[in-house]
Amino acid sequence: MYTVRVRDHFMIAHSFRGEVFGPAQKLHGATYVVDVEFRSTALDDSGIVVDIGLATETVHKILGDLNYRNLDEEPSLKGKNTTTEVLARTVFDRLVDAITRDALGRNGHAIESMKITLNESHVASASYEGRV
Amino acid sequence: MYTVRVRDHFMIAHSFRGEVFGPAQKLHGATYVVDVEFRSTALDDSGIVVDIGLATETVHKILGDLNYRNLDEEPSLKGKNTTTEVLARTVFDRLVDAITRDALGRNGHAIESMKITLNESHVASASYEGRV
Amino acid sequence: MYTVRVRDHFMIAHSFRGEVFGPAQKLHGATYVVDVEFRSTALDDSGIVVDIGLATETVHKILGDLNYRNLDEEPSLKGKNTTTEVLARTVFDRLVDAITRDALGRNGHAIESMKITLNESHVASASYEGRV
Amino acid sequence: MYTVRVRDHFMIAHSFRGEVFGPAQKLHGATYVVDVEFRSTALDDSGIVVDIGLATETVHKILGDLNYRNLDEEPSLKGKNTTTEVLARTVFDRLVDAITRDALGRNGHAIESMKITLNESHVASASYEGRV
Amino acid sequence: MYTVRVRDHFMIAHSFRGEVFGPAQKLHGATYVVDVEFRSTALDDSGIVVDIGLATETVHKILGDLNYRNLDEEPSLKGKNTTTEVLARTVFDRLVDAITRDALGRNGHAIESMKITLNESHVASASYEGRV
Amino acid sequence: MYTVRVRDHFMIAHSFRGEVFGPAQKLHGATYVVDVEFRSTALDDSGIVVDIGLATETVHKILGDLNYRNLDEEPSLKGKNTTTEVLARTVFDRLVDAITRDALGRNGHAIESMKITLNESHVASASYEGRV
């Protein structure tokens, strides 16, 4: 199995609903340093899993739609607790959509699975991984 | 699959038995920077894998039982070569025990597997992963 | 010159005033991973710059006063653009106050200068350093 | 499952064939910081996955055969696009060969799978993992 | 003293002249992960050292002029041994030029000194720092 | 001012004398990931601060004299509290001695100052810097 990983980040405000979150129920924020891993069992004729230029651009666009926002007021996330886990899944789903719409070109369709990791500090992160 | 990771550390003295260890047969020591990954296929109603507050506290307590010790004189590790691999397994087993005793609360029981990584320097680490 | 460094973090929401900030004029947020460096030309009789337990605790308390907040509504920062630079200076000033009030114990007064670095992502940080 | 990871690096020049590579079609270069993970379901009697001394030495020798080279002129890579993915696979294959030739000693044969990650910058890496 | 740091990278091929370089006399290459630190004793009215958008863009352009090149054939570096030290100085000098040409806007002229660090692997780096 | 930095590590056992150290008064241990910075205002004719091969070798030898030891029984450290600060100074002094004995070759004598940083975990380090 081959994996290609690219890194980018976004910075948001949000708050959580539920006593389990303690002081994080108040409006606060986070930088998420995001690692996106693309996986495939085979390489294409050029020797790559994915066009890393398109991959970087596509990830940047998806994170750009969240960057510099207050997620509590983001229509597309309405009613969701935007935990790190939920945001990892959100990025995953949007990337699957982009791949379906050919954003990664032809060899994007050879991607079998992805793992999205959101690093929220030097001591915590959350990931979602699944088949494309 | 969702993963949540928390990081902490502990600092110990120990020595190894066996020629394969060369100079590490003498009493020396290590800082282990520990990454604990909790994995689950689903999130709870709050949108989390685990209460990260309880998880951080529980990991800190388990590492605290090893921290600032000479492992050669630790009754609970008697007769063991406390290699990085063995210590990763030790932390795993103690965390499984803690989950069984409800240390992570109700959603702790939704954790399906864990991976414990002990980083012993900038160039080496060891992990143990398994089902809970 | 000796330096001791400790690391901690805080997570906040805020917005900036001024066209130079572009989309960061909207409410967003950040994780700041904070490095505090304490400097002294000499060590005390125990061979340390500062009691690292007290230093860690004091830094944690100062960052705790900012953690999980919307800085736009923080009375102590009223009228300020809470840029990374300004926040580095804020942490510096509060730490100088704490040292003056003996928070670091007697050898806290031997600290000659400090540098506070706020890492806001994997690609950007800001610092303030000065004499105590 | 146990994993042991060691890190080393190598520095090479190369160029790529194919329009997908854009400016990287010109002769350029890279530092690859390499993480090699050795995996086994059981530890040997000493409590280890592999003799980390032999593992470090073997990895260093394999990377040394690539280090300080222009890969475009490397006979063993003739006709290949030496992408990060391809190089990860190359290191994997050479390490399997070395294990077969007893380079990791007797317990090298207990290694069930490996993952080779080549970090090419702070924002990109590629891996190959497979059964030994 | 305030410092703002931004990070970017470039990937080049080159060779060195001189026996001291051993095998690095052959054509090889490197990824340089570059940290640029801008320093000023005062902040402007917006609370910043420099417009980080312009700073990031300017650094990216300067590194882009070196990226994906064989430095042995780069006219602007003719006759130079392009060691990490020399390249750190080259980036510094080009950034001073850019500041002089208003690339960082008005507050770019408030920058008093800079430090350029080129990280060439996980175990080595070189820097040049000086007054602007 | 030019700086060259190399990284290595050592792993030791020790204990501290003094109530300020709390549980660290017991025998425990640490991995120290060591950054050595060599500084000079000018480069030699080859475009380097120091022969990085000799520098790496010399640092490795000095750390090797401490590696895999119980510092409480180390004659050369007798009567010292081997805090991170004290060990940073110890490495500094031994490196000055080595430079004096030509270990870094002729251009070793052009080194004007050094900074030695011992990273003891992901959240703490200590340094000593001074003129050579």
Structure tokens given for E11: 């990937």
**What number is the average pLDDT over the span F11-27?**
97
What does the pLDDT read at residue D71?
98
Chain A: touching chains (3 or more CB pairs < 8 Å): B, C, D, F
User: Between the CA of residue F90 and those of B86, F34, F82, F118, what are the distances in Å?
Assistant: 33, 12, 9, 11
Chain D: touching chains (3 or more CB pairs < 8 Å): A, B, C, E
In this prediction the pTM is 0.98
User: Between the CA of residue E59 and those of C14, C62, E127, what are the distances in Å?
Assistant: 27, 34, 15
Q: Which of A43, A63, A113 to mutate to test the interface with D (most CBs of D within 10 A)?
A: A43
CB contact under 8 A, D43 and B86: yes
Three-state DSSP class for residue C81: coil
Q: How confident is the model at residue B9 (pLDDT cuts 50, 70, 90)?
A: very high
What does the pLDDT read at residue B6?
98
What does the pLDDT read at residue B37?
98
The answer to whether D and B touch (≥3 CB pairs < 8 Å) is: yes
Q: Which residues in chain D have Cβ-Cβ distances shorter than 8 Å to B126?
A: 2-5, 49
What does the pLDDT read at residue C62?
98
CB contact under 8 A, B121 and F69: no
Closest CA to D113 of D88, D132, D86: D132
Q: How confident is the model at residue D100 (pLDDT cuts 50, 70, 90)?
A: very high
Q: Which residues in chain E have Cβ-Cβ distances shorter than 8 Å to D29?
A: 11-14, 28-31
Close Cβ partners of A58 (under 8 Å, ≥ 6 residues apart): A95, A98, A103, A104
Distance CA A17, CA E39 (A): 41
| ipTM of predicted complex | 0.96
Report whether pLDDT(D107) > 90. Answer: no
Report whether pLDDT(D106) > 90. Answer: no
E7, amino acid identity: R
CB contact under 8 A, A86 and B43: yes
CB contact under 8 A, D68 and E33: no
Report chain C's mean pLDDT, rounded to a whole number. Answer: 97
What does the pLDDT read at residue B107?
79
**What number is the average pLDDT over the span C110-115?**
97
CB E132 within 8 A of CB F6: no
Interface residues of chain D, partner chain A, Cβ below 8 Å: 16-18, 20-22, 80-86, 88-89, 117, 122-130
What does the pLDDT read at residue D36?
98
- Number of Cβ atoms within 10 Å of the Cβ of B74: 16
* Percent of chain F scoring above 70 in pLDDT: 100
Helix-, strand-, coil-residue percentages of chain A, each rounded to 5 = 35, 35, 30
Taking CA–CA distances from B35, the nearest residue in chain A reads: A123
- Number of Cβ atoms within 10 Å of the Cβ of D122: 18
What does the pLDDT read at residue B130?
98
Report whether pLDDT(E99) > 90. Answer: yes
Q: Which of D7, D16, D27 to mutate to test the interface with E (most CBs of E within 10 A)?
A: D27
Report whether pLDDT(B104) > 90. Answer: yes
Q: How confident is the model at residue C106 (pLDDT cuts 50, 70, 90)?
A: confident
pLDDT tens-digit map of F68-99: 999 999 999 999 999 999 999 999 999 999 99
Interface residues of chain C, partner chain A, Cβ below 8 Å: 7, 9, 11-14, 23-24, 26-33, 67-70, 120-123
**What number is the average pLDDT over the span D52-77?**
97
What does the pLDDT read at residue C107?
79
Report whether pLDDT(C125) > 90. Answer: yes
Distance CA D106, CA D95 (A): 15
DSSP of F17-63, one letter per residue?
Answer: -SGGGGGGGSSEEEEEEEEEEEEESS--TTS-SS-HHHHHHHHHHHH
Q: What is the mean pLDDT of each run of 10 residues along chain A (132 residues)?
A: 98 97 97 98 96 97 98 96 98 98 90 98 98 96
CB contact under 8 A, A128 and B2: yes
β-sheet bridge partners, residue D30: D12
Distance CA C128, CA C92 (A): 7
Taking CA–CA distances from C54, the nearest residue in chain F reads: F20
* Helical ranges in C65-112 per DSSP H: 84-100
**What number is the average pLDDT over the span E39-50?**
97
Q: Which of B83, B90, B116 to mutate to test the interface with D (most CBs of D within 10 A)?
A: B83
**What number is the average pLDDT over the span C42-62?**
97
Distance CA D18, CA D25 (A): 7
CB contact under 8 A, D126 and A1: no
* Percent of chain C scoring above 90 in pLDDT: 96
* Percent of chain F scoring above 90 in pLDDT: 96
**What number is the average pLDDT over the span B14-33?**
97
CB contact under 8 A, D31 and E120: yes
What does the pLDDT read at residue B81?
97
What does the pLDDT read at residue A106?
80
What does the pLDDT read at residue E106?
80
What does the pLDDT read at residue C129?
98
Q: Which residues in chain F have Cβ-Cβ distances shorter than 8 Å to A122?
A: 122-123
The answer to whether F and D touch (≥3 CB pairs < 8 Å) is: no
Closest CA to D122 of C22, E63, F55, F2: E63
**What number is the average pLDDT over the span E3-9?**
98
Report chain F's mean pLDDT, rounded to a whole number. Answer: 97
Taking CA–CA distances from A25, the nearest residue in chain C reads: C68
CB contact under 8 A, E9 and D121: yes
What does the pLDDT read at residue E13?
98
